[in-house]
Amino acid sequence: MHAWPASEVPALPGQGRDLRIHDTATGGLVTLDPGPVARIYVCGITPYDATHMGHAATYNAFDLVQRVWLDTKRQVHYVQNVTDVDDPLLERAERDGVDWVALAEKETTLFREDMTALRMLPPKHYIGAVEAIPGIVPLVERLRELGAAYELDGDVYFSVESDPHFGQVSNLDAAAMRLLSAERGGDPDRPGKKNPLDPMLWMAAREGEPSWDGGTLGRGRPGWHIECVAIALDHLGMGFDVQGGGSDLAFPHHEMGASHAQVLTGEFPMAKAYVHAGMVALHGEKMSKSKGNLVFVSGLRRDGVDPAAIRLTLLAHHYRSDWEWTDQVLRDAKDRLGRWRAAVSQPDGPSADALVEEIRAALADDLDAPAALAAVDRWADLQQREGGTDTGASGVVTRAVDALLGVAL
């Protein structure tokens, strides 16, 4: 699949900082030390509805990761998938009487437009699950050869017990895992499974549903976790720097994915950090396509909201916190954008050198975007109150806010 166009990332004076970030697997902060090419995989959308503010918040977090790395003059090898075949997508297409392929294409197109408007840097490889199927089949066959997979009425399951490190991404107890498995696409109650948590690797073709040639597996379609793993291993290999997604993906998705990859390669760990963004809520409940309590990026854009204000709303919340979307948080962001734009409209101002360092330090410290915004606020207030004599200070601020925060002033 093609991704979306990249916005320019201006180069900044001075030295970028190495990123220290929270890793779900160890429960603490890790300082990442990628080589000259940093590698990141971020789980993409299931395209059956438009991009909502929860999605945008999660992609904003990983956009910041990229921007911190780019500021250290590293290249970033960023991979993202599209879950373009899955039960909820097929169900929505059926409900609305539309073709599932057309629905996925339409929503993916809208997602690209939303990401472009928000200045989210595009992945280098943007890969659909369907196009990854030829690479998935041999991995499932290999897991079967290794004795890590078994068949149940034509479906193929992964045996979680085949990975000695299973459980070390999410660190949940058995009861919590079972509950989440049932809530998030698993089938712990299906009779005949070796372990209730075992996830499906390959689902035999069902009447009326799309299916593909699976070689020795028979016709069918892949399970969710192996899709992301096949794409990640193909484009990044093992031991990549960050596996990213919202906190609802820690279990089972990232736990299972890591186990698949670790058993397939015999290496550990799959990723150096498992990074999870908090959940955005609306009216007290997690924004979700299945509940329908959504604020869409495209809806706000249609209403004439400046994408930079949407972006500032996201940045005003620490990526790991759960927060609530309200009209007030958007109003605050619009006000802030107005103040910043007024301040940089004068070419001269107070020196911006310290500000650039403050933004860098805030982001390198577990992506503390709210602290970065507070630093820009202080500079903008000073500029408006007292002005300044540093020629070109506003240009430096504009470039720093663009390069590090993705906000166009």
- Contacts (CB under 6 A) with ligand 5CA, residues 182-211: none
DSSP string, 265-292: HS-S-SEEEEEEEPPEEETTEE--TTTT
- The token pair at 32 is 């990442």
Smallest distance from ligand 5CA to CB 82, Å: 7
- Applying CB under 6 A, does 84 fall inside the site for ligand 5CA? no
Smallest distance from Zn ion to CB 288, Å: 16
Judged by CB, which is closer to ligand 5CA: 58, or 383?
58
Near ligand 5CA by CB under 6 A: residue from 63, 114, 141, 248:
248
Smallest distance from ligand 5CA to CB 205, Å: 22
Q: Give the closest residue to 132 by CA, choosing from 186, 204, 83.
A: 83
The answer to whether the CB of 16 falls within 8 A of the CB of 361 is: no
Tell me which stretch binds Zn ion (CB under 5 A): 14-22, 34-42, 220-228, 231-239. Answer: 220-228
**How far apart are alpha carbons 212 and 101 in whole angstroms?**
14
Q: Give the x/- contact pattern for ligand 5CA in 15-54, rule: CB under 6 A.
A: ----------------------------xxxx-------x
> Which residues of 216-344 form beta strands (DSSP E)?
220-222, 240-246, 271-277, 280-282, 285-286, 323-324
Judged by CB, which is closer to ligand 5CA: 25, or 359?
25
- What, of ligand 5CA, Zn ion, none, does residue 269 touch, CB below 5 to 8 Å by kind? none
- The token pair at 330 is 């958007």
Judged by CB, which is closer to ligand 5CA: 171, or 288?
288
- What, of Zn ion, ligand 5CA, none, does residue 317 touch, CB below 5 to 8 Å by kind? none
- Contacts (CB under 6 A) with ligand 5CA, residues 213-242: 228
Near Zn ion by CB under 5 A: residue from 32, 43, 90, 279:
43
E strand or H helix at 22, and its extent?
A: strand 20-23
Near ligand 5CA by CB under 6 A: residue from 12, 25, 277, 344:
277
**How far apart are alpha carbons 93 and 184 in whole angstroms?**
20
Near Zn ion by CB under 5 A: residue from 40, 61, 228, 401:
228
What is the number of other CB atoms lying within 10 angstroms of the CB of residue 32?
19
The answer to whether the CB of 409 falls within 8 A of the CB of 308 is: yes
**DSSP category for residue 251:** I
**How far apart are alpha carbons 58 and 45 in whole angstroms?**
11
**DSSP category for residue 390:** B
Instruction: State the residues that interact with Zn ion by CB under 5 A.
Output: 43, 228
Instruction: State the residues that interact with ligand 5CA by CB under 6 A.
Output: 43-46, 54-55, 57-58, 81, 83, 228, 245-246, 248-249, 277, 279-280, 286-288
